[in-house]
Structure 1
Amino acid sequence: MASQPVPPSWKDLGKAASDLLGKDLPINGSTLEVKTRTPNGVTFRVLGLRDNKSQAINGDLEAKWEDRKNGVTLTQAWSTSNVLRNHVELENHIAKGLKLELVTTLIPDKQTKNALFASTYKQPGLHTRQHLDLFKGPTFTADAVLGRDGFLAGAEASYDVRDGKLSRYNLAAGYHAPEYAVTVHGLGNLSTYSASYYHRVNADIEASARATYDSKAPSSNVNLEVGTKTYLDNAAFVKAKINNAGVLCLGYTQALRPGVKASFGLALDTVKLSDSQAGANAHKLGAAVTFEA
């Protein structure tokens, strides 16, 4: 019997559908991202974002050092909101397929700090993650995904150590094939349900849909969004999605040259197209430019 592949992690269940419906549609502002890599393995990343709604400009500066031979990665980041973050990763040190992580954050002016210890274990047919939030709770969270012949089943749960009770639990199931994927989630202690579908129709066209039902919402309606992605050539593609509220999103991404990519996004509230008073609250426009060297 052929060996089973390593299934995706809990957070990546339904990722193909989520990426098609969410990525490369910069409708909430303007983003500039610059990535550079030095010969000794240090990667620098600068990210700037101007939010259309608040007009605020935020930025992040990140440096990442990676020693792939020894499985060690160190990431340090500093944001314009004065948040300092350190992330240490050790992979395949104690056992093959095991990764240990320590993430710390500090806000100096507020003296707010946090520390998260995490582990990930991957083997054919199994992908598990655990993390302990030392200052919030403390809270222990664990998830696991089992996979066999394309069928996936996953669960996530959080346990509040101080209160001694289960604070959150979620379930998921799906089927992943090379050309399509179906995923069903039960989130928020099984109060919210979502089902997503992704299909690579051919080499140039992809399609996806997602339905979400929140049993605690005032109006128990099912929210639906449908999207598609079409490759114009090997350097450009367009995206379109629409939801049941009548919001239409359009996106265009062009690779200008190796390492340089530009994306443009437009969101139109089709219900308010004739409303001259709707203005920017109904329609959104944004752009994102990425440099990588």
Structure 2
Amino acid sequence: MTTPTKTTTVTQPVPPSWKDLGKAASDILGKDYPIHGSTLEVKTRTPSGVTFRVFGLHDNKSQNITGDLEASWNNRKRGLAVTQAWSTANVLRNHIELENHLARGLKFELISTLVPEKQAKNALLAASYRAPGVHARNFIDVFKGPLMTADVVLGRDGFLVGAETAYDAKDKKLARYNLAAGFYAPEYAVALHALGNLSTYSASYYHRVNSDIEASARATYDSKAANNVNLEVGTKTYLDNAAFIKAKINNSGILALGYAQALRPGIKATFGLALDALKLTNGSTDASAHKIGAALTFEA
């Protein structure tokens, strides 16, 4: 008697959203380099589930000090989240999220901003759907156009394809269209983007070399720019469980360094430095070519 073979169905994971395609490489090249100024961020959470966040920035270029005060409340059982923020520029922001109500994986959002002094306002209605093998999003910018944006990412066995398009209802024309493709594995990822109505192309690569070292590279070609080719390479090295160092350099000779240290649970300090290597080699003393900054985060 032949024993029937049991077929195992492998569930496809939910792919990343359009904005997160190539995120692993972008994080290595873009995060933890506080080179434009000094920031202070304080987060606290009350027993009732309300989170308060205060963020301040001292900009090295303008010497201006700006800040945000934000309060958010999240009820995960009901799939409801509300965030309100007020900045020193007198900008009021509201963000309401409603998830998993009409269908599992379906999320609705209302994002609005108001500048009372200028009587300027903006409202964005968003809907997203996440399921095995698909991640789709739709946005309607109510007061601009209205402008309707949609993007979708499909994934299977690590392969990803995505597209984004925006339609201006007032002018009745396609405002933009973009394409992307990629492959994701536990230890490496590759992403290809065709942006700006297929006028700008980029390719990024991320590799987790081992448990302590990560590396990434990104090449960009802009057919409309004078210097139409840009190349960046970067790495991240974990010194221990509480500290890491990052470094990156591009073909313009800009070298950036970042160092992050967890001083104690809930307290993190990050330092950044950017140097124009070309001006170092020719003996220039122009201090404006170099940037330095720091960030301090408290969370309780």
Q: Report the TM-score when normalising by structure 1.
A: 0.98
Aligned to 1:34: 42
Aligned to 1:87: 95
Aligned to 2:241: 234
CA spacing shift, 1:268–1:16, aligned 2, 3 Å: same
- State the 1:249 CA deviation: 0.5
Aligned to 1:256: 263
- State the 1:277 CA deviation: 4.1
In 1, the alpha carbon distance for the partners of 2:105 and 2:115 equals: 33
In 1, the alpha carbon distance for the partners of 2:76 and 2:113 equals: 24
Q: 1:131 aligns with which of 125, 139, 163?
A: 139
Aligned to 1:225: 232
In 2, the alpha carbon distance for the partners of 1:68 and 1:138 equals: 32
Aligned to 1:121: 129
- State the 1:278 CA deviation: 1.5
Greater radius of gyration (CA)? 2
- State the 1:231 CA deviation: 0.4
Amino acid at match of 1:169: Y
In 1, the alpha carbon distance for the partners of 2:53 and 2:218 equals: 32
Give identity over the alignment, percent.
Answer: 74
Q: 1:268 aligns with which of 266, 270, 275?
A: 275
In 2, the alpha carbon distance for the partners of 1:67 and 1:244 equals: 47
In 1, the alpha carbon distance for the partners of 2:48 and 2:293 equals: 36
The answer to whether residue 220 in structure 2 is matched with residue 212 in structure 1 is yes
Corresponding residue SS for 1:3: coil
Amino acid at match of 1:238: I
Deviation per residue, 1:164-205 (Å, 9 max, x gap): 110000100000000000000000001001100000000000
Corresponding residue SS for 1:19: helix
Q: 1:176 aligns with which of 184, 196, 218?
A: 184
Amino acid at match of 2:131: Q
In 2, the alpha carbon distance for the partners of 1:20 and 1:265 equals: 14
Q: Report the TM-score when normalising by structure 2.
A: 0.96
The answer to whether residue 290 in structure 2 is matched with residue 283 in structure 1 is yes
The answer to whether residue 77 in structure 2 is matched with residue 69 in structure 1 is yes
Amino acid at match of 1:185: H
**Structure 2 matches for 1:16-27, cutoff 5 A?**
16-27=24-35
- For the aligned residue pairs, the C-alpha RMSD in angstroms reads 0.8
In 2, the alpha carbon distance for the partners of 1:80 and 1:190 equals: 38
Amino acid at match of 1:283: H
Structure 2 segments unaligned to the other structure (5+ residues): 1-8
In 1, the alpha carbon distance for the partners of 2:119 and 2:146 equals: 18
Amino acid at match of 1:110: K
Corresponding residue SS for 1:81: coil
In 2, the alpha carbon distance for the partners of 1:219 and 1:43 equals: 45
In 2, the alpha carbon distance for the partners of 1:224 and 1:275 equals: 25
In 2, the alpha carbon distance for the partners of 1:113 and 1:14 equals: 32
Aligned to 2:210: 202
Deviation per residue, 1:193-250 (Å, 9 max, x gap): 1100000000000000000000001233x20000000000000000010000111101
In 1, the alpha carbon distance for the partners of 2:191 and 2:85 equals: 34
Amino acid at match of 1:257: R
In 1, the alpha carbon distance for the partners of 2:146 and 2:135 equals: 24
Aligned to 1:192: 200
**Structure 2 matches for 1:40-55, cutoff 5 A?**
40-55=48-63
The answer to whether residue 172 in structure 2 is matched with residue 164 in structure 1 is yes
Aligned to 2:251: 244
In 2, the alpha carbon distance for the partners of 1:284 and 1:92 equals: 45
Q: 1:110 aligns with which of 114, 118, 125?
A: 118
Amino acid at match of 2:12: Q
Amino acid at match of 1:47: F
